[in-house]
Structures are given as C-alpha cells and as structure tokens.
Amino acid sequence: LRRDDLRQAAREGREGNLVLFVVDASGSMAARQRMSAVKGAVLSLLLDAYQRRDKVGLVTFRGTAAEVALPPTSSVDAAAARLESLPTGGRTPLAAGLLKAHDVLRVERLRDPSRRALLVVVTDGRATGGPEPVALAGRAARLLGAESVASVVVDCESGPVRLGLAGRLAEELGGTAVTLEELRADAIAGLVRDVRGTTSRRAA
C-alpha cells in the first residue's frame, strides 16, 4: 500500500453571494417606477441564483422606518409573493434603511461567513424626517463602509437641479455610484452581475 493508492473525495463548490437591495420607497421620487424596476431585477437575479448559490434580499425604507420586505432567499416563488405588493410614499428615513441593511448583513454573516455580500442602494441620496437625517445617514453609511461591504449606489436623482447626494453616499459607503436616467430592471440586474463578478474575482 503506497501513498499514491489513497484517494479522498474532495467537494468543489462555489461560494455564494448575497445581493441585498436597499430601496427608497418614499414619495420623494418616482416610487412606482423605481419599485417596479427593482422587483424585476430581484426576480431576474433569482432565476439563476440556484446555479450560483446566491441569495437576494430587499430592504425598503419610507415614512419613519425601514423593513425587510424580502428576507434573503434563493426562492423565486417566495420572492414573487413578497414583492407582489409593496407600499410607497411618505418621508425618506435613509439612515433607518442603511441600519436595517447592516442588521441583515450581520445575521447572514453569522449564518454563513463565506458568503460574500453586495449592497445595492437605490436612492437619490436625500434623507428627510427625524432630527439631523442627513448626518444620521452619513454615520450609518460609514458604519457599513468600515466593515468593507461591497456596495453600489444607483442614483435616481432627476430634474434640472442635481444635489449629488447619492455620489456622496457612495463615497461614505466606500462604493461606487451609477446614474441610470431610465431605471430598468434589466439595467439593474446587469449592473449587479457586473459588480458581483468583480467582487468574486477580487476574492479569488
């Protein structure tokens, strides 16, 4: 019996990703158009999630709070049911959305430390409601940035006057900002796949 005669089964798998959308559902933008595009992107990403072992989740923020509209899942059926009816309108508690995302990512990291997270924030960067909403949003963004969470901000700002707040938010997150004049599901899904691929190559 020689060493070369010994064989051991080796499992070769892929590390999965978690793509977490954080979406402004307030009345400050064209919320219905934005939400429709994000729903389509989530479902599109989930169609190939089982091949990549990916999960997709959705946090929305509006009024005075944020909620997990879609807990991280790889089930298209579960996502479709959760996304069928999502309310919009009200103020823009951006900090609450980012902090809720932080909580979701923390729990998922404990469940599966090998799963890479990608944060996709869909907003114009404006924060309203509560005391010092802009400062609070900045602190929440820097908290995520300090944990080196890969992120991209989809800038939905429109109109002749541009404040550039989404770009500033991306800097505080340590990520990148992308402007989409027409928010489409295929554009978001393609963007996420590009960033996800870049993240995977960096980790390799």
- pLDDT of 194 strictly over 90: no
The answer to the question of residue 4 being in a domain is no
Domain range enclosing 114: 16-203
Residues 125 and 117: their CA atoms lie apart, in Å, by 21
The predicted structure's pLDDT at residue 160:
60
Q: Which residue has the higher pLDDT, 198 or 176?
A: 176
Strand 55-62 relative to strand 65-73: parallel, antiparallel, unpaired? antiparallel
The answer to the question of residue 11 being in a domain is no
Q: How far is CA 20 from CA 67, 108, 151, in A?
A: 13, 11, 9
pLDDT digits (tens, 9 = 90+) for 41-63: 778 777 776 677 788 899 999 88
pLDDT digits (tens, 9 = 90+) for 15-30: 578 889 898 888 754 5
The predicted structure's pLDDT at residue 125:
83
- 129 falls in which pLDDT band (50, 70, 90)? confident
For 33, the token pair is: 């158009």
The answer to the question of residue 43 being in a domain is yes
The answer to the question of residue 9 being in a domain is no
Nearest to 35 by CA among 56, 15, 21: 21
Q: How far is CA 133 from CA 7, 28, 79, 93, in A?
A: 60, 14, 31, 7
The predicted structure's pLDDT at residue 10:
44
Query: How many domains are there within the chain?
Result: 1
pTM to 2 decimals?
Answer: 0.81
The answer to the question of residue 174 being in a domain is yes
- pLDDT of 124 strictly over 50: yes
Mean pLDDT of the chain: 79
The answer to the question of residue 68 being in a domain is yes
The answer to the question of residue 189 being in a domain is yes
Going by C-beta distance under 8 Å and a sequence separation of 6 or more, which residues neighbour residue 29?
Answer: 123, 124, 156, 158
Give the domain CATH number at 181: 3.40.50.410
Q: How far is CA 125 from CA 54, 60, 93, 117, 182, in A?
A: 27, 14, 10, 21, 17
| C-alpha triplet 43, 45, 50: angle, nearest 5° | 105
Residues 65 and 186: their CA atoms lie apart, in Å, by 28
The answer to the question of residue 152 being in a domain is yes
For 76, the token pair is: 């298209």
The predicted structure's pLDDT at residue 71:
93
Going by C-beta distance under 8 Å and a sequence separation of 6 or more, which residues neighbour residue 165?
Answer: 124, 125, 126, 157
The predicted structure's pLDDT at residue 122:
85
